[in-house]
Structure 1
Amino acid sequence: MVGTKNNRRAQMTERLIQDSLIQLLQHQELNEITVTAVCKMADINRGTFYAHYDDVKDCMHTMEQDATKELLAVINEHLHPDSLRAILTGIFEIVKKRHAVTSFILTTDQDFLMHFIATTKREILEHNQSLIGNISAREGQYMFEYYLNGIVGVVRYWLKTDLQESPETLAAFINDWWYRGKPFKAIADLPPESQSNK
């Protein structure tokens, strides 16, 4: 029981430190933030900080790893071929939950989010062959890159505009755009997903 309490206390302290760093990131660049500033924001001493992290960058790296683990967990939950919308919803939920961290990551690592959205490639290129027109493998790859960069652009705009839509709504937008647009055959004649489910 004591070990559990201590572990919970350590987790609470780490969360406090992380939240304080996130607050500081709203106004400063990462390389401008000092351990002293984080400690002051969190109302802890430097010894407490160093008991959990080597420095500010180590704290940020830990948050990035945590976000990565959550994103991978979402993807592993949705391996069914028809789960594109579910995967995107899960990814967007993590982006929203950790928006300060993901916003920072997206400004420093252009490919971070692409790595996770790229996991939907199987659903797009392998499991929708009956809907894809007569395009070459090369064109199919261009098609996917177009899709991938488009989603990342949408997420950037979503973050920039204060996450006005829910993760479910954003995923529904993209799902609808993709399956009702070129290069899918006759898809424009299909009713919207919301109507077909009625």
Structure 2
Amino acid sequence: MKEMKQNRKTKYTQLALQDALMELMEQKPIFKITIKELCERADINRTTFYAHYTDQNDLLHKIEHDVLLSFRKFIDSLHSQMDKSSIVHIIQGFLQYIADNDKHIQILLSERGDINFQKKLFTMIYEQCEIMNLAVPSSTTEFYFIFVLNGSIGLIQHWLKYGLTKSTYEMAEIIFNMTAQIK
């Protein structure tokens, strides 16, 4: 029973720190965030922080890892839905996932986020496109995907930055139509 209570307390502390970091990153880049203000925002002491993380970057990497793991599970679930006629619905599902989790994702994809997170996300999506056999058959496939994924991520960043002003379906249509024109 004591171990269960300890695990719940640990999880609460970690979530409080993650939320505090995301709130602070809305205001400034990570290199300007101190452990002191992070702990004050999370309402924990520094000793507790250091029991879980080495520094604010370690905490950020944990958040990124969790988001990427969650993304991976979501993308893996798309395999069963995959056929050419449902591409817009898959994109919409992807966007809905982002919208439902937009606080962390918005910050991680913003100019205050870690560029390495964006690269890892890009690589994961690229690999999944290859697995799902979404390749354009030509010698320029890699360049096509780099162009499409960077453009799509840019559109998603813009969509998040300006408050999800379009529905997930509208954004899916925009991304699909723009990429369809490139082929």
Which TM class, normalised by the smaller chain length? 0.7 to 0.9
Write out per-residue CA displacement over residues 39-71 of structure 1, whole angstroms, 9 at most, x where no aligned residue: 111121112212221211111010010011011
The alpha-carbon distance between structure 1 residues 52 and 142, as it changes in their structure 2 partners (threshold 3 A), is: closer
Number of residues paired by the alignment? Answer: 173
Instruction: Please state how far the C-alpha of 1:107 moved relative to its aligned partner.
Output: 5.4
Contact in 2 for aligned 1:89/1:171 (Cα 8 Å): yes
How do 1:1-198 residues align onto structure 2 when only pairs under 5 Å count?
Answer: 1-80=1-80, 81-82=82-83, 84-96=87-99, 97=101, 98=104, 99-103=106-110, 108-109=115-116, 110-118=118-126, 119-121=128-130, 122-125=132-135, 137-179=138-180, 181=181, 183=183
The alpha-carbon distance between structure 1 residues 102 and 182, as it changes in their structure 2 partners (threshold 3 A), is: closer
State the match for 1:130 in structure 2.
none
Deviates most, 6-15 or 71-80:
6-15
Write out per-residue CA displacement over residues 161-191 of structure 1, whole angstroms, 9 at most, x where no aligned residue: 1222343442233234445x353xxxxxxxx
Whichever residue aligns with residue 134 of structure 2, its letter is I
Determine what percentage of the aligned residue pairs are the same residue. Answer: 28
The alpha-carbon distance between structure 1 residues 137 and 63, as it changes in their structure 2 partners (threshold 3 A), is: same
Structure with the bigger percentage of helix: 2
Structure 2: 5+ residue stretches without partners: none
Instruction: Please state how far the C-alpha of 1:8 moved relative to its aligned partner.
Output: 2.2
Separation (CA, whole Å) in 1 of partners of 2:164 and 2:98? 10
Separation (CA, whole Å) in 2 of partners of 1:53 and 1:182? 45
Whichever residue aligns with residue 100 of structure 1, its letter is I
Deviates most, 59-68 or 5-14:
5-14
State the Cα RMSD in Å: 2.6
Separation (CA, whole Å) in 2 of partners of 1:102 and 1:95? 11
Instruction: Please state how far the C-alpha of 1:90 moved relative to its aligned partner.
Output: 4.2
The structure showing larger relative contact order (alpha-carbon pairs under 8 Å, at least 6 residues apart) is 2
Q: TM-score, normalised by structure 1?
A: 0.73
The alpha-carbon distance between structure 1 residues 58 and 142, as it changes in their structure 2 partners (threshold 3 A), is: closer
